[in-house]
Chains A and B, each alone.
Chain A
Amino acid sequence: MISWFPLAEAPVPEGGLFDFDATLPLMAVQVVILTFILNKLFFQPVGKVVEEREGFVTTSHKDAKERLARVQRLEQDLKARLQQARHDAQAVVAAAEDEVAMLHKAALAEAKASATRLREQARAEIDAQRSEADAVLAKESRQLADLIIRRLVTF
């Protein structure tokens, strides 16, 4: 048997379940001391680490959110630009088509006009020749008539 402490010589109290003695205040002091020790060794350091991590997570989260927002903004911007570019391209194509159509129409009109002019010219020429031929015919027929008359008269 180990002799625990050389203290156990005084008369031993009776004991019992409800034996209050100096254990009570000393235990209270012990728990208070333990509170301070645990505060220094456990609650403060662990709290620091946990709260730092919570802060880190919060800021990372915020950061990520901001970045996401920026990316979305950029994407929207890009989309808008793309749409604008597409729009511009369509406008250019439409303008080119219009121009081509216009040129085509102008050329057609010119060709028609020149054709008409040529036809008119030809007709005019034909008319002139016809009238000339008519005149010649008329003159010749008059001469012929004169000749006929003179011959008849001279008879």
Chain B
Amino acid sequence: MLLQTLLPLAEALPASDPELMVEETHGLEIGQHFYWHLGQLDLHGQIFLSSWILIGALLSVVVVGTRRMARQPAGLQNLLEFLWDYIRNLSREQIGEAAYRDWMPFIGTLFLFIFFCNWGGALVPWRLVRLPSGELGAPTGDINTTVALALLVSLAYFYAGLSRKGLRYFEYYVEPTPIMLPFKIVEDFTKPLSLSFRLFGNIMADELTVSVLVLLLPLFVPLPMMFLGLFTSAIQALIFATLAAYYIGEAVHEEHA
């Protein structure tokens, strides 16, 4: 709705630099997707393209950094070890000493993937690549990605609880008192909902703000917003990973240890 009001404004502005105002369709493209069709299925091609590029970047950092590992770390190994340690501390704090090892790769992948997607969406000059429709951007700015991640988290914590405690996992729903049962059931729905919408909303809003500012005042003015965007992007990745770890920790937590 905000967009409908903003769009004519954006189009009404004179294109001072023809490079910046690429085409009419590249003014503000919200909710437009570059569709791929796989049989009967529709896919958001731009999401996959940018996620593959970012996953490629992530994997190349990892591969280059782990190529020559030494006891005295040098270069990229330092960064990777810092990340590893950071992720270990995060998962150990949230999940607990007993089970964090099993879930550390999952938490870490969530963190790294979201972080790379968020920062990649903000830092890579995607505009240089023109798609027939839609535009490349942060994969986490698409509701499909965030819901996929959030549902994975839901599956993960159910699996974690059930595999560790068996059917005793469902005691969690009536602890400390059975009055909690409806709330805990509702929580199972609100957890993925809040996870996905928080991430989606933040990244989406950030991209939207920046692109609106770029349209209105292309030089310097959007920079503070972009820095703020980088900040929120990192925070969102951390929040998502921390909450995922917290939910898993809640599921594997033993009441009477």
Residues of A within 8 A of B (CB): 1, 4-5, 7-10, 12-13, 15-28, 30-32, 34-39, 41-43, 45-47, 49-50, 52-53, 56
Question: Are B132 and A4 within 8 A (Cβ)?
Answer: yes
Instruction: Tell whether B135 is near chain A: CB-to-CB under 8 Å.
Output: no
Q: Chain A residues near B73 (CB, 8 Å)? A: 49
Q: Chain A residues near B63 (CB, 8 Å)? A: 41
Q: Chain A residues near B106 (CB, 8 Å)? A: 35
Q: Chain B residues near A49 (CB, 8 Å)? A: 69-71, 73, 77, 81
Segment from B6-14, B35-43, B220-228 that makes contact with A: B35-43
Segment from B138-146, B171-179, B183-191, B211-219 that makes contact with A: B138-146
Which residue of chain B is the closest to A21 with respect to CB atoms?
B42
Q: Chain A residues near B151 (CB, 8 Å)? A: 24, 28
Interface of B is mostly: helix
Instruction: Tell whether B210 is near chain A: CB-to-CB under 8 Å.
Output: no
Q: Chain A residues near B131 (CB, 8 Å)? A: 4
Question: Are B47 and A23 within 8 A (Cβ)?
Answer: yes
Question: Are A13 and B147 within 8 A (Cβ)?
Answer: no
Per-residue interface assignment for chain B, residues 14 to 44, with 1 indicating a CB less than 8 Å from any chain A CB and 0 otherwise: 0000000000000000111111111001111
Q: Chain A residues near B33 (CB, 8 Å)? A: 13, 15, 19
Q: Chain B residues near A38 (CB, 8 Å)? A: 58-59, 62, 105, 108-109, 112
Q: Chain B residues near A18 (CB, 8 Å)? A: 143
Question: Are A27 and B47 within 8 A (Cβ)?
Answer: yes
Name the interface residues of B114-172: CB closer than 8 Å to any CB of A: 130-134, 139, 142-145, 147-149, 151-152
A5, A26, A31, A46: residue with the most chain B Cβ atoms closer than 10 Å:
A46
Per-residue interface assignment for chain B, residues 81 to 112, with 1 indicating a CB less than 8 Å from any chain A CB and 0 otherwise: 10011001000000000000000111011101
> How far is A23 from B139 in the complex, measured between Cα atoms in Å?
11
What 4 A-B pairs are tightest by C-beta distance, nearest first? A22-B41, A23-B144, A39-B105, A28-B148
Question: Are A53 and B71 within 8 A (Cβ)?
Answer: yes
Question: Are B55 and A34 within 8 A (Cβ)?
Answer: yes
Q: Chain A residues near B38 (CB, 8 Å)? A: 7, 22
Q: Chain B residues near A20 (CB, 8 Å)? A: 143-144, 147
Q: Chain B residues near A36 (CB, 8 Å)? A: 105
> How far is A147 from B204 in the complex, measured between Cα atoms in Å?
173
Instruction: Tell whether B48 is near chain A: CB-to-CB under 8 Å.
Output: yes
A42 in contact with B66 given A21-B44, A35-B109 (CB within 8 Å):
yes
Q: Chain B residues near A35 (CB, 8 Å)? A: 105-106, 109
Q: Chain B residues near A19 (CB, 8 Å)? A: 31, 33, 44, 143-144
Per-residue interface assignment for chain B, residues 61 to 81, with 1 indicating a CB less than 8 Å from any chain A CB and 0 otherwise: 011001001110100010011
Question: Are B66 and A41 within 8 A (Cβ)?
Answer: yes
Instruction: Tell whether B233 is near chain A: CB-to-CB under 8 Å.
Output: no
Which residue of chain A is the closest to B152 with respect to CB atoms?
A28
Question: Are A31 and B109 within 8 A (Cβ)?
Answer: yes
Question: Are B144 and A21 within 8 A (Cβ)?
Answer: yes
Question: Are B84 and A30 within 8 A (Cβ)?
Answer: no
A12 in contact with B35 given A4-B131, A39-B105, A45-B66 (CB within 8 Å):
yes
Which residue of chain A is the closest to B200 with respect to CB atoms?
A17
> How far is A56 from B71 in the complex, measured between Cα atoms in Å?
9
Q: Chain A residues near B139 (CB, 8 Å)? A: 27
Question: Are A50 and B31 within 8 A (Cβ)?
Answer: no
Question: Are A5 and B45 within 8 A (Cβ)?
Answer: yes
Q: Chain B residues near A41 (CB, 8 Å)? A: 59, 62-63, 66
Q: Chain B residues near A32 (CB, 8 Å)? A: 152
Determine how close the nearest CB of chain A comes to the CB of B85; give it in whole angstroms: 7
Other A-B pairs, 18, CB within 8 Å; known A19-B31, A38-B109:
A7-B38, A15-B32, A15-B35, A21-B43, A22-B42, A23-B43, A23-B44, A23-B144, A24-B147, A26-B48, A31-B110, A31-B113, A32-B152, A38-B105, A43-B84, A47-B88, A50-B85, A52-B71
